[in-house]
Structure 1
Amino acid sequence: MTAQASTPDPDEVGQGINALEAYLAAQQPTQPPAQEATETTAPRSAGQTRRVRKLAGEVDEAYHLAALQEDDTPLLLDSGKVRKRRKKAHEAARLHKLGQDPAMRAWQAARMRRLLVAAGMVALTLALAWSTAGVQAFAAGDAKAWSPAWVFAWLVEPFMSLALLTVVGAKAYLGTRGQPIKSAKLDRIEYGFLGLTLTMNAWPYLPGVADAFDLSRLVLHILGPIVAVAVVTALPIILEAFARLDHRVTGPLTAPSYSENTGADRPAGNPPSHGVDRVDVAALTARARRLIASGDLPAAPSANALRQALRCGMDTARQVRDELRGGVRDE
């Protein structure tokens, strides 16, 4: 038995289509299509190319740079070169002050005196050694080489030199102790030894004695004794002058002082030779506190702001700043 399909009712079909249309209308997006959104936003970004954005950035940068260039604070900061130069100047000032100390001056004088005495004694020793050959030739005469007379002739100059150096050394040592020897006998002994040395060196080369007089040979042989005479004469005078030295600093020109602020940067009342007094710093600190209380200065002013407000030097402004911060100094 075969079943026949029922024919759909037209009303039911129409109701189904209406329900489907209502469902699709409820599911439509609320936002406009992408094409419409592009069309509405396109006019806003028109002309914003890369060149435009770059130029706009340069203009903004120029405005910021112009505003910052009006501030002179970076120009008031100490560069590395300035701080290095200030360090050297401070060191030079301290060395100069140390050089005015009596103990330092006495030590410098003692060191120089030892140096001069050592140089003088070396020169005297070399001068006497230089004349040894001339004295040996005079003392040996016609003696054969390496004969007893020829060998002992080499000892003439050394024993005279040792005797002379004994006298000169004693006078030099006592002169360094402030007790120079004033003895005519010692003077005669010195000049006696030197006269003998000079005579023995010059005799074989004097006119009328030498077979052929040669001035250059004569000068060369008397050079050692002349240098010895000069050292023996000059050394006691030099040592006596050292003994009379007064190591105390006297007079206003021997101890100049160094000032931290000069010219218009110096606060009123500062003495011209001692920099910034503590009294001035205290007065300026009190004035800065009044300016802070009145609002003319910030609560923690910088050294530059204090310098401009108080019309003082930068070093003074730094001291005032440190006082306002409780005496803590920040380098």
Structure 2
Amino acid sequence: MSVTSPTPEPTPEDISQGLAALERHLADVAPSATPATSSAAADDGATRRVRRLRAEVAEAHLLADLQGDDAPLLVDTKRVRRRRKAAQEAARLHVLGQDPAMRAWQAARMRRVLVTCAMVSLTLALAWSTAGVQRFAADGAEPGSPAWLFAWLVEPFMSMALLVVVGARAYLGSRGAALTDRTLVRIEWLFLGLTLGMNAWPYLPGVAESFSVSRLVLHLLGPVVAVAVVTALPIILAAFTRLDHGTAGTPLTGPSYRANVPTQHPRPRGDGPDLTDLTARARRLIAAGELPADPGADKIRRALRCGMDTARAVRDSLSTDPA
């Protein structure tokens, strides 16, 4: 068995050499100083005020560089986008308002509103005069008696008969067929005259116990409004039927149909191109594929920008004389 010799005890010189070698090794393998350490070392000796001013100056340089970029100014704000959207909507509504179909729809809606208001006003005016007519028809009968009760029915059945005539004239007038028969006009004025006379009679001078102008006018108000509505409504409806919702030379509404129409095609009215030229243009559009081989009158009207009468004539010419 071998015997190990005892390890010699290190001397102070050996310890110093070992420490020096360890320091050299750590210096070789240690990383270089970080930027933060360098910055911290650079700030050594700087006061808090100096550091704050240095940060403020650095921020100012960055802001000055960013302020030269106009990109934020090119981005629309919410308010700008709302205004642009509203402007685009207004422009499209304006263009839509010039469309013949839209103008026809607006006129029809306004006509319905006016007719409805006129009929409601007429009904209320006749209802307003019911009390005056009842007093005239009761002729001093006791309240609650049969004569007094039946007197309330005089104005309603006269008003219903009048509304039948006025309603028929209003409806037919809104469809372009004004009803101006003199018999119906006389019937209207007969009912209105009876209503006016029965309302005014008890309050006329010499009939009323104490004459009062305000009371007379108040009882004449209903019949006068009824007369005004009956007189004005046919005139307003006749004006609506004369409206032309299309552009110049391009009426939107079609012509009225007539019985026993001659077979010869009518020549287009005005100084525009004649039927031969329009038919030739339609054939060129068919050859170019802009119109179908057998186009309808409405498609021809829109393609040639002509009236419906002329479009039907061109359609018939294409079918009878194909080229």
TM-score interval for Structure 1 and Structure 2 normalised by the shorter chain: 0.5 to 0.7
Q: 2:60 pairs with 62, 83, 86, which one?
A: 62
Residues 44-71 of structure 1 show CA distances to partners (whole Å, capped at 9, x for unaligned) of 6542333333222221111111111112
* Pair 108,193 (structure 1): closer, same or farther in 2 beyond 3 Å: same
Shift of 1:81: 1.2
Q: For residues 223 and 87 of structure 1, what CA distance do their matches in structure 2 show?
A: 50
- Aligned with residue 196 of structure 2, among 195, 198, 215: 198
1:127 maps to amino acid = A
- AA aligned opposite 2:78: G
What CA distance in whole angstroms lies between the structure 2 residues aligned with 1:156 and 1:44?
A: 112
C-alpha distance in 2 between matches for 1:21 and 1:208: 154
The 1:214/1:44 distance shift into structure 2, 3 A limit, reads closer
What CA distance in whole angstroms lies between the structure 1 residues aligned with 2:115 and 2:235?
12
1:162-199 CA distance string (max 9 Å, x none): 11111100000001101111222221211111111111
Residue of structure 1 in register with 2:220 after alignment = 222
Whether 1:23 aligns to 2:17 is no
Summarize the Cα distance change of 1:45–1:149 in structure 2 as closer, same or farther, 3 Å threshold: closer
After TM superposition, give the deviation of residue 200 of structure 1 in Å.
0.9
Counterpart for residue 239 of structure 1 = 237
Quick one: distance in 2 between partners of 1:180 and 1:87? 45
**3-state SS, counterpart of residue 83 of structure 2:** helix
* CA deviation vs aligned residue, 1:52-105 (integer Å, no higher than 9, x gap): 332222211111111111122211221111111111111121222222222222
- Look up the match of 1:104: 102
- One-letter amino acid matched to 1:79: T
When structure 1 is superposed on structure 2, of 134-143 and 231-240 the one drifting more is 134-143
CA distance in 2, matches of 1:197, 1:44: 110
Query: Structure 1 residues 84 and 244 mapped into 2: Cα distance closer, same or farther (>3 Å)?
Result: same
Letter in 2 for 1:125: T
CA deviation string 1:254-305 (max 9, x = no partner): xxxxxxxxxxxxxxxxxxxxxxxxxxxxxxxxxxxxxxxxxxxxxxxxxxxx
Distance 1:198 1:94 in 2: 51
Gaps of 5+ in 2: 1-7, 25-37, 250-323
Change in 2 beyond 3 A, CA 1:142/1:61: closer
Q: Output the CA distance in 2 between the equivalents of 1:212 and 1:149.
A: 25
The DSSP-based 3-state class of the residue aligned with 1:181 is: coil
TM-score normalised to structure 1 length: 0.63
The change in CA–CA distance for 1:113 and 1:44 in structure 2 (over 3 A counts) is closer
Equivalent-residue separation in structure 2 for 1:65 and 1:94 (angstroms): 44
TM norm structure 2? 0.64
Aligned to 1:145: 143
- Quote the Cα distance in structure 1 between the aligned partners of 2:134 and 2:71: 83
Whichever residue aligns with residue 17 of structure 2, its letter is: A
CA distance in 2, matches of 1:200, 1:46: 114
Query: Structure 2 vs 1, CA of residues 244 and 27 (structure 1 numbering), >3 Å: closer, same or farther?
Result: same
* Cα deviations by residue, 1:182-224 (Å, 9 ceiling, x for unpaired): 2222212111111111111101111111222111111111111
Letter in 2 for 1:194: L
Looking at structure 2, the residues matched to 198 and 237 of structure 1 have their Cα atoms a distance apart, in angstroms, of: 22
Aligned residue identity for 1:119: C
Match of 1:167 among 165, 168, 173: 165
Q: Distance in 1 between matches of 2:118 and 2:182?
A: 22
- Whole-Å separation in 2 of the counterparts to 1:153 and 1:25: 140
2:80 maps to 1:89: no
* Residues 285-300 of structure 1 mapped to structure 2, 5 A cutoff: none
Where 2:245 maps in the other structure, the secondary structure is: coil
- Distance change (3 Å), C-alpha of 1:112 and 1:21: same
Aligned position for 2:297: none
* Distance change >3 Å, CA 84–CA 140, structure 1 → 2: same
Q: Which structure's CA Rg is the greater one?
A: 1
Provide closer, same or farther for how the CA distance between residues 106 and 23 of structure 1 changes in structure 2, counting only shifts above 3 A.
same
CA deviations on 1:124-150 (whole Å, 9 max, x unpaired) are: 111111111111211221333333333
- Give the aligned residue type for 1:24: I
Within 2, Cα distance between the matches of 1:207 and 1:189?
28
Q: Which residue of 2 aligns with 1:50?
A: 48
Q: How far apart in 2 are the matches of 1:20 and 1:150?
A: 148
Aligned residue-pair number = 227
d(CA) in 1 for partners of 2:203, 2:13: 150
The percentage of aligned residue pairs carrying the same residue is: 66
Which residue does the alignment assign to 1:213? 211
Distance of aligned partners of 1:26 and 1:129 in 2 relative to their CA distance in 1, 3 Å threshold: same
Matched, 1:76 2:74: yes
Distance of 1:221 and 1:44 partners within structure 2: 105
RMSD, aligned CA:
2.6
Tell me what 1:113 maps to.
111
Matching of residue 186 in structure 1 with residue 184 in structure 2: yes
The Cα of 1:24 is off from its aligned counterpart by 3.1
